[in-house]
Amino acid sequence: MNAPSRQATHQKLTYKLRRMRREDIAQVFSLEQRIFPTPWTQKSYEFELERNPASEQWVIEAVSAAEPQVVAYCVCWLLGEELHIANIAVAPRFRRRKLAKRLLCFVLNRAAEKGLRSATLEVRAGNHAAQALYAAFGFVEVARRPRYYSDNHEDALLMQLPQLKAADLASQPETGREGA
Ligand SMILES: CC(C)(COP(=O)(O)OP(=O)(O)OC[C@H]1O[C@@H](n2cnc3c(N)ncnc32)[C@H](O)[C@@H]1OP(=O)(O)O)[C@@H](O)C(=O)NCCC(=O)NCCS
């Protein structure tokens, strides 16, 4: 039998950003378990979707000929004048395609339009990929929480974007190539 053609494995994908729905929780939780050493539980996602009035949740799904697949997600909390990025992740196979950048752009713009003034988040001191992403948006380290994470007692950096203003979404790509 012939090996699958290169064309078949490099199918064109479209990425769609939309609100997280209850039926996404299984996919989100499966990613969460693969990505984080101390994953959020399914119940915590149910709480965010159904009972936390301060919470907004977003996903990016990859749409192709096959079933749409959740490949990135973000949970944020609107706390008075502050936006807190509570969780953001991209499926390993879909990284470095600017999907996290697109999600962040979207939630920051949305918060700015709603009149929120600043944004914060916590990140592991050793998570240089995420820190580079946040720094590109203007987040700066404002505090360090020693031994914050329960699994390895790693420090957390508290990062803040002091002045929330509309970011430029025009440069964000709508499509990409699978397996690129
Ligand atoms: C951090 C994470 C969300 C980035 O997602 P991503 O979709 O791959 O990021 P993007 O493609 O949008 O990258 C945007 C910018 O972030 C920075 N960046 C992202 N990944 C990076 C890496 N591995 N090393 C260095 N910089 C990186 C770069 O500045 C990049 O811009 P560039 O591609 O023009 O160089 C992803 O690696 C991830 O899910 N990690 C595990 C979960 C996690 O750490 N979440 C954050 C918790 S605080």
Express each pLDDT in 76-135 by its tens digit. 999 999 999 999 999 999 999 999 999 999 999 999 999 999 999 999 999 999 999 999
Tracing tokens 């159904």 back to the chain, one arrives at 50
**Ligand 1 binding pocket includes 136 (Cβ within 6 Å):** yes
In whole angstroms, how large is the CA radius of gyration of the chain?
17
19: containing domain: 14-173
Express each pLDDT in 49-72 by its tens digit. 999 999 999 999 999 878 899 999
Is the pLDDT reported for residue 176 higher than 50? Answer: no
15 dihedral zone (left: phi>0; alpha: psi -120 to 50; beta): beta
**Ligand 1 binding pocket includes 90 (Cβ within 6 Å):** yes
Report the CATH number that the domain containing residue 105 is assigned in CATH: 3.40.630.30
User: In this structure, is residue 101 part of a structural domain?
Assistant: yes
Q: Which tokens sit at 14?
A: 């479209």
Q: Which tokens sit at 8?
A: 């078949």
The residue whose CA has the least distance to atom 10 of ligand 1 is 98
User: In this structure, is residue 102 part of a structural domain?
Assistant: yes
User: In this structure, is residue 94 part of a structural domain?
Assistant: yes
In angstroms, the Cα distances linking 162 to 112, 125, 134, 153, 167 are: 12, 20, 12, 27, 14
